[in-house]
Amino acid sequence: MGLSGTVVKRIKWLEDGILADGARVYTDFRPAAGQVLSVRLDDPDRRSGILPAPGPLDIVYEDLDVIVLNKAPGVSVHPGPGHFDDTLGNFLLYHYDEEGETADFHPVHRLDRGTSGLMVAAKHPHAQEVLKNQLHTDAFRRVYLAVCEGVPEPPAGVIDAPLGPRPGSLMEQMVRPDGKSARTRYGVLRRWGDRALVSLELETGRTHQIRVHMAHIGHPLTGDFLYGTEDRSLISRPALHSGYLSFLHPITKEKQQFAVPLPQDMAGLKL
């Protein structure tokens, strides 16, 4: 079944963790031809410590193993200082409770608080591990849409610039020769006056990678208060949206693909 050692360690102590024809067996069991082997993948208890709390969820797709969400801008993915009960994790666990599911919060990747759009969370550790192993491979694809200041030239290319923390800042990242390797592919989709709508794909997954790379080439994202110029009369966040997501289903191995349109605050920038 391709279960990791971590998952096996979690389930082998459960009464219904590993069953052969409905009877409990252990990790050294070797099934005979015709026997039915079943493994419990869902969470026997929640270990994340996240408090379920009601809140808006835009569910794009859901099954027993994964859930795909269209995250609203301004919503954090994980609880943290100042946001203990108003995050995607809180809302998702409340949704699971309402549906009678025991699943915990198993995010596969994350979006910054100001970023909107598609993200996938697993419903059990095995699905999470399988999907995380797909990250930054051809099996897992994310296409971001952004509005930037100015129009990049050339209209398509790869930004290859290492990133690391900016000294003296708790939040900012910067291009620095001793940073971690970072590559972003971009392409101009259309020109909106003095701005451009661009598509972006990450070959690596560094903190604020798209925002820093676009600022590095002289085209910061519209509304980016850290790496560009904030103008709340235009948009109250960095204009970045996860518009397309595809991956191989962790159980069936079938390709799953999803797309959502630009949110209203970004679409309004073309006017």
| Cβ(136)–Cβ(107) below 8 Å | no
Please check whether residue 36 is in contact with residue 20, taking contact to mean a CB–CB distance below 8 angstroms: yes
Would residue 16 show up in a list of annotated catalytic residues for this protein? Answer: no
Which residues make Cβ contacts (< 8 Å) with residue 19, sequence separation at least 6? 25, 37, 38, 39
d(CA 208, CA 26) in angstroms, rounded, equals: 45
Distances (CA, A) of 194 to 148, 153, 190: 9, 13, 11
Q: Looking at 112, 138, 194, 265, which residue is catalytic?
A: 112
Compute how many other C-beta atoms are within 10 angstroms of the C-beta atom of residue 74.
12
Tokens standing for residue 221: 């994202």
Distance between CA atoms of residues 118 and 111, nearest Å: 9
Compute how many other C-beta atoms are within 10 angstroms of the C-beta atom of residue 230.
14
Catalytic positions, written as ranges: 112
